[in-house]
Amino acid sequence: MDVHTLLVSFANDFASLLVTVLLIVAYHIFLRNKVKKNPTYTVQAVNRIARTAWVETIMGDEKNAVLAVQTLRNSTMAATFLASTSVLLIIGVLTLSEQGEKLEAHWNALNMVGAINPMLWMVKLLTLLLDLFVAFFGFSMAIRIYNHVGFMINVPVRLNHKMITPAHVATHLNRAGHFYSMGMRAYYFLVPMVFWLFGPHFMLVSTIVLLLALYRIDRAPKIMVLDYSDTE
């Protein structure tokens, strides 16, 4: 089978993959534009503001050193757990690739429009592996930066260090938060990648459902103003 024939047979799968990528990119462009207009539109944007204020509060009072260490320890433990989970999932996908011939027929039982080919099966598994490696990298970088922040945040402001200022430390902490969010995004995008194993139409449907769920998750909750004027 030549290359042209392969591409034609894989057309539905690659078209579904392209549409999936375009939908995800368009969603994140939409979020970026919303944040430019309203800096508190997403939970991630609110978290960046909260982390900056938290660093300023912690470094402004030396009595909060223990609180800083405990909070960073919790964040480091969460990132460590998720990084370890990604490694286990990578091992699982590698194990799955060894059993492709046995499982491919069962996994493609509902595949009505996609191609059934060992080469395509390996492409799907490689896509899963790439996504998991991105998750591992994100959580590993978050752990690394959290450790750096643990040293910097306990440097007293009264030393007037040019580099270790609350703004500088907050920038590092927000970088760690960015890598953590990147790892979580990679986990979320596993959903359409896994459904692609069952067929391209499942990937498209799961992508739409995932983006609808992310839209509700990413939006910062609206502030409710309670009126106590009628209470006694």
For residue 89, being part of any structural domain is answered with: yes
For residue 226, being part of any structural domain is answered with: no
pLDDT, mean of residues 185-209: 90
**21 pLDDT above the threshold of 90:** yes
Give Rg (Cα) of the chain. 23
Give the least confident one: 83-87, 122-126, 225-229: 225-229
For residue 19, being part of any structural domain is answered with: yes
pLDDT top residue among 117 and 44? 44
Q: Which domain holds residue 205?
A: 3-218
Letter string b/e over residues 179-197, b meaning 16 or more CB atoms within 10 A of that residue's CB: bbbbbbbbbbbbebbbbbb
Alpha-carbon distance values, 195 to 113, 123, 204 (Å) = 14, 14, 9
pLDDT of the residue at 93: 87
pLDDT tens for 140-182 read 999 999 999 988 888 877 777 777 888 899 999 999 999 999 9
3 state DSSP class of 160: coil
**206 pLDDT above the threshold of 80:** yes
Q: How confident is the model at residue 9 (pLDDT cuts 50, 70, 90)?
A: low
Counted domains in the chain: 1
Quick check: 55 and 170 in contact, CB under 8 A?
yes
pLDDT tens for 81-100 read 999 999 999 998 888 777 65
For residue 102, being part of any structural domain is answered with: yes
Q: How confident is the model at residue 102 (pLDDT cuts 50, 70, 90)?
A: low
pLDDT tens for 38-66 read 888 899 999 999 999 999 888 887 777 78
pLDDT of the residue at 225: 41
Q: Of the candidates 215, 228, 13, 212, which has an alpha carbon nearest to the alpha carbon of residue 119?
A: 13
pLDDT of the residue at 115: 56
Q: How confident is the model at residue 20 (pLDDT cuts 50, 70, 90)?
A: very high
**29 pLDDT above the threshold of 80:** yes
pLDDT top residue among 101 and 1? 101
Q: How far is CA 177 from the centre of its chain?
A: 10
pLDDT of the residue at 108: 61
pLDDT of the residue at 135: 96
**137 pLDDT above the threshold of 80:** yes
Please report, in angstroms and rounded to a whole number, the separation of the first and last CA atoms in the chain: 82
For residue 13, being part of any structural domain is answered with: yes
